[in-house]
Structure 1
Amino acid sequence: MAVLGGLIFAALAVVVAGFQLGLAAGRPWGHLTMGGRYPGRLPLFMRFSALVFALLWLAMAWLVLAHVRGWAVVQGWGLYSVLGLCLMTTVLNLITPSLPERRLWGPVTVVMSLAMILVVTL
């Protein structure tokens, strides 16, 4: 089950990273992020932060895959950090004032958090 959880998490993390890369490239998806504060294209400084978040999600996907596939020994604090970031992201996506963001990313991050719980507990 831990491998399945890791694969689910990694696949969804790649989807989230792709979304962030789209934001960084100027896609008009601002209503789906940051509480909908910047509808349309994000301002330049927010596009840079989207790029940083994309890299963070890809790094977390690699870390989890490395753990569940046995590619590298990952310390518990690394996995618990990913879980903590996932849970925090889930809460923020569930309480965001942007209804489209909540409807899109709420379920995605709930599944990611549940998948990470499988990874760290099994």
Structure 2
Amino acid sequence: MPFALALTVLFAILTLLQLALILGAPLGAFAWGGQHRVLPARLRIGSAVSILLYGLIVVIAWDRVGAIDVFAPLFSEVAMWVIFAYFVLGIGMNAISRSKPERYAMAPMSAALAALSFLIAMGYGELAMAI
């Protein structure tokens, strides 16, 4: 469970960032390629969708470690591997961003999310629960 908890905390931080972006905070350099200081409406909608996806990923992670029972075990296991692959891709995408804040903040965030997703996908969260 500590990996799912750490993943949840990181997503809470990202949710706060996305909420700030939705509300018009001048933090656009940290997201969506860093091309906008304040996000346009279409990217604010994207930020709202991101928050929903964060919630889904957190539910899948907690399901995978066995803390909740929402999905079939095979679904949550496969989904965590897909999530891991997504964050590995995110490391590269954030690392090549033209925005320095996005490169320096979000590439490490993606790396941390990838590492946690890997550990959860491997079932290490389940081992922690069994102890």
Question: Given the two structures, how large is their TM-score scaled by the length of structure 2?
Answer: 0.81
Assess if the C-alpha contact under 8 Å between 1:14 and 1:58 holds in 2. no
Larger RCO (CA within 8 A; separation ≥ 6)? 1
In the alignment, is residue 63 of structure 1 matched against residue 64 of structure 2? Answer: no
Alpha-carbon distance in structure 2 between the residues aligned to 1:102 and 1:93: 5
Q: CA deviation at 1:22?
A: 1.5
Aligned to 1:96: 97
% identical equivalent positions:
21
Alpha-carbon distance in structure 2 between the residues aligned to 1:101 and 1:11: 19
Question: Given the two structures, how large is their TM-score scaled by the length of structure 1?
Answer: 0.87
Assess if the C-alpha contact under 8 Å between 1:9 and 1:61 holds in 2. yes
Deviations 1:23-71 (A, max 9, x none): 11211111111221112x1011111111111111121112212221431
Matching residue's letter, 2:15: A
Assess if the C-alpha contact under 8 Å between 2:64 and 2:121 holds in 1. no
Moved more, 92-101 or 79-88: 79-88
Aligned to 1:20: 18
Please, which runs of 5 or more residues in structure 2 have no aligned partner? 124-131
> In terms of Rg, which structure is larger?
2
Q: CA deviation at 1:4?
A: 2.3
Alpha-carbon distance in structure 2 between the residues aligned to 1:60 and 1:4: 16
Question: Alignment length, in residue pairs?
Answer: 119
Please, which runs of 5 or more residues in structure 1 have no aligned partner? none
